[in-house]
Amino acid sequence: MSIIAVQPLLVGAVLLWAANVKLFSRRGAIAARDAALARLVGEKRAPAAYRILGAAEAVVGLALLVPILWAPATVAAIALSAGFCGYLAYARVAAPESSCGCLGGKGAAISWRAFARSGGMLAASVTILWTDMAWPTALAQHPASSLGVVAVEAALFLTVSAEFDGAWLVPLRRWRARWSRPLGGDTGEVPLDATVERMQRSDVFRHVAKLLRSDVRETWDEDDWRIVCYGAMVDGRRATAVFAVPLLRDAPDEVRVAFVDDKTSQTLLHFNSPPEEDERPEWAMPKSATMAG
């Protein structure tokens, strides 16, 4: 029964984390206005409603950590979780482009992950009704299994929380892109500025330049290629532009690029050479354009 017994610890910790973001984050007011909550209660009332919700989460979260208060706290946790599920359903229909604001977040749009998280919280809250052991007792009597359950559930919670992608998912994708060799690469002593200048003279770079949204973010060398990464936006989707540039040859015609979706790792665009002039989209830069270094 240690699996059920530690659920108050997990649910309480999650609620306290969410409350901390809503009550003490410097971006709390901004997050409230960006969330679907603003559509529900109005933009002016959204910050106040956001903090009231945070206070409720703090009270319920603290109560779940005190065994004597489990009965009312469990009912409140179930009500909160069910309310979150209903809120997400409303937000998905009324303001699908908005973030849920559940953990403050960084503008993470509502997706199946948000529903999975709220559904998991609801299920965990309901299971507390069947516990007959306090979580401190479970930790004392079955430390390995209890901590294992908490660790696995916490990992699942992070996995379905888009707000934490920057802490683990984005670095993981960068590592995978670096070691999976999507475009081909070896080390060399060629200055980065020389590579960038060579790349910017290529037709491929001119073709996609207006999709780029950052300076060089990351580079590495593989075989005869230098890989250069930029932040980009393709049809409203955040992506990473991965350029492959000849490392030791001045060969702009050999430059190639792939655009990889930051969320799904799907390849959105891939050019080994630019299309003919009459096939270029409006955002393609003319050959006469001068690129900044």
Q: Which two tokens stand for residue 111?
A: 């997706």
Q: Do 59 and 105 belong to one domain?
A: yes
Question: From the centroid of its chain, how far is CA 199?
Answer: 30
Domain residues for the domain of 94 are 2-176
In a domain, 127, yes or no: yes
Q: Can you give the pTM of this predicted structure?
A: 0.58
Same domain as 141, residue 49: yes
In terms of domains, do 127 and 8 share one?
yes
pLDDT of residue 152: 93
Digitized pLDDT (tens) for each residue of the chain, 293 residues in all: 568 889 999 999 999 999 998 888 776 767 777 787 888 888 888 888 989 999 999 999 999 999 888 889 999 999 999 999 999 998 888 877 777 777 765 556 688 888 999 999 999 999 999 988 888 998 999 899 989 999 999 999 988 887 777 677 767 777 776 676 555 544 446 888 888 998 999 999 998 998 999 989 899 888 788 999 999 999 989 999 999 999 888 888 899 999 999 888 888 988 887 766 544 454 444 444 434 33
- Give the span between the Cα atoms of 271 and 219, in whole angstroms: 19
Residue after which a domain boundary falls, among 176, 208, 232? 176
Whether residues 167 and 204 share a domain: the answer is no
Q: What is the pLDDT of residue 100?
A: 79
The last residue of a domain, from among 115, 150, 176:
176
Q: Is residue 279 part of a domain?
A: yes
Residue 182 lies in a domain: no
- Could you tell me if residue 99 is inside a domain? yes
Structure-block tokens of residue 124: 């965990």
For 233, the enclosing helix (H) or strand (E) is strand 225-234
Residues 163 and 229 in one domain: no
Q: Judge whether 129 and 76 are in contact, CB under 8 Å.
A: no
**Distance between CA 73 and CA 62 in Å, rounded?**
9
Domain annotation covers residue 251: yes
Both 108 and 197 in one domain: the answer is no
- Structure confidence at residue 92 (pLDDT): 85
* Residue 185 is assigned to a structural domain of this protein: no
- 44 and 133 share one domain: yes
Is 31 part of any domain? yes
**Strand, coil or helix: 153:** helix
Contact 280, 269 (CB under 8 A): no
The dihedral sign for the CA sequence 68, 71, 76, 78: positive
Rounded Cα–Cα distance for residues 168 and 162 (Å): 10
Do 165 and 110 fall within a single domain? yes
Amino acid at 19: A
Report d(CA 169, CA 161) in Å as an integer.
10
Do 63 and 132 belong to one domain? yes
In a domain, 186, yes or no: no
The answer on 161 and 29 residing in a single domain is yes
144 in the same domain as 276: no
- Our count of domains for the chain comes to 2
- Based on the fold, state whether residues 30 and 130 are members of the same structural domain: yes
